Amino acid sequence: MINFLRRLRSSDFSYYFFRDPIALVSFAVLLVLVVAAFSAPLIAPHNPYDPTTIDIMDSELPPAWAAEGSRNFLLGTDDMGRGMFSTMLYGMRISIIIGLGAVLLQAMIGIVVGLLSGYIKRLDSILMRIADVQLSFSTYMIAIFIGATFQMVFGVANYEKIAAPLLILIIGLAEWPQYARTVRASVLAERQKEYIEAARVIGLSKVRIMWRHILPNTLSPVLVISTVQVANAIMSEAALSFLGLGMPQNKPSLGSLITSGFEYIFSGSWWITIFPGILLVTLILVINLLGDWVRDYLNPKLYKG
């Protein structure tokens, strides 16, 4: 372990990482956000999921420093009387889980489809047509379809319990073609290289060539688009909330918090929109900045000539 750390410290990776203040700060911010999100039950002063602690009479209190603010609620309260600070922490946790889960699902489907269609010519046109059909369906249509199916299977009233996995499934299924296309493109590029030819000549099986030789080479574009995809997934969830198909009101994600704040844009309760908005934009921003950095790192050609 110590050895590993030492190696990590002396590696190019950490060298460039520690030299780049943007990467460093982004990483620090992301770390703080993720840790805060996942330790929400420990650090949040209130539990927004426990309805017994919520009082409607506390609703729409401004942040603590404002004239009418309450010391109890640092960043004020939302329309339900939940503390913004605590609700945002819990919401961020859900957003991150949905974002990561959906991207993981997208990547899994996308990589498999991309590999198959890039490597097996017979499957290519079929799979890519499926991807086309998929792309022309927006997330919204998928959400309605899958949402309705789930409701039939699990019963309408249980929505709250299945909402998060459901959204992961919806966003995962809706946006995998991005991965498939990316992977396919790099498979096609990779397939023409000599070492693949060589591997084929020495009689390695297709599966092995795909898995051991082609896949690793497609990973950097996958990593690069993953950052954008995480951001997109979180925003898709927000968009679904905007159309009434996202996380339920009592388990809000950051996206649905912003959406519910949407109504408050012209009223004076700016904190209901602005705080989750800033948090969401910050979260996505640091993910994207790190993604940029990773791309630059993984594509050293750009710098090393």
Q: Which of residues 182-221 bind other proteins (CB under 8 A)?
A: none
Q: How far apart are CA 124 and CA 221, in angstroms?
A: 20
* 34 is an interface residue for other proteins by CB under 8 A: no
Tell me the per-residue interface mask from 156 to 185 with other proteins, x by CB under 8 A, - otherwise.
Answer: xxxxxx-------------------x----
Q: Site for other proteins (CB under 8 A): which residue of 36, 74, 112, 285?
A: 285
Q: Site for other proteins (CB under 8 A): which residue of 25, 148, 198, 207?
A: 148
The tokens 């789930």 sit on which residue?
A: 150
* 53 vs 204, beta carbon nearer other proteins: 53
Backbone angles phi, psi at 204, to 5 degrees: -70, 145
DSSP secondary structure letters along 97-113: HHHHHHHHHHHHHHHHH
Least separation in angstroms between residue 183's CB and other proteins is 14
* 51 vs 165, beta carbon nearer other proteins: 51
Closest CA to 147 of 158, 135, 131, 132: 158
* 57 is an interface residue for other proteins by CB under 8 A: yes
Least separation in angstroms between residue 281's CB and other proteins is 5
Residues contacting residue 113 through CB under 8 Å, at least 6 positions apart: 127, 130, 131, 176, 179, 180, 183, 184
Answer positive or negative: Cα dihedral of 17, 18, 24, 30.
positive
- The one segment of 36-44, 78-86, 164-172, 191-199 that binds other proteins by CB under 8 A: 78-86
Q: Site for other proteins (CB under 8 A): which residue of 42, 136, 192, 202?
A: 136
Percent composition of the chain: helix, strand, coil (DSSP 3-state, to 5): 75, 0, 25
**CB contact at 8 A, 167 and 100:** no
Both structure tokens of 238: 């927000």
Q: How far from chain centre, in Å, is Cα 13?
A: 24
Q: How far apart are CA 248 and CA 163, in angstroms?
A: 7
Q: How far apart are CA 232 and CA 291, in angstroms?
A: 13
* 1 vs 52, beta carbon nearer other proteins: 52
8-state DSSP, 158: G
Q: How many residues bind other proteins (CB under 8 A)?
A: 74
- The one segment of 3-11, 39-47, 97-105, 296-304 that binds other proteins by CB under 8 A: 296-304
* 217 vs 288, beta carbon nearer other proteins: 288
- The one segment of 106-114, 164-172, 211-219, 227-235 that binds other proteins by CB under 8 A: 227-235
Region 231-270 residues binding other proteins, contact defined as CB under 8 A:
231, 235, 238-239, 242-244, 248-250, 255, 258-259, 262-269
Least separation in angstroms between residue 241's CB and other proteins is 10
Region 2-21 residues binding other proteins, contact defined as CB under 8 A:
15
Q: Site for other proteins (CB under 8 A): which residue of 41, 51, 165, 216?
A: 51
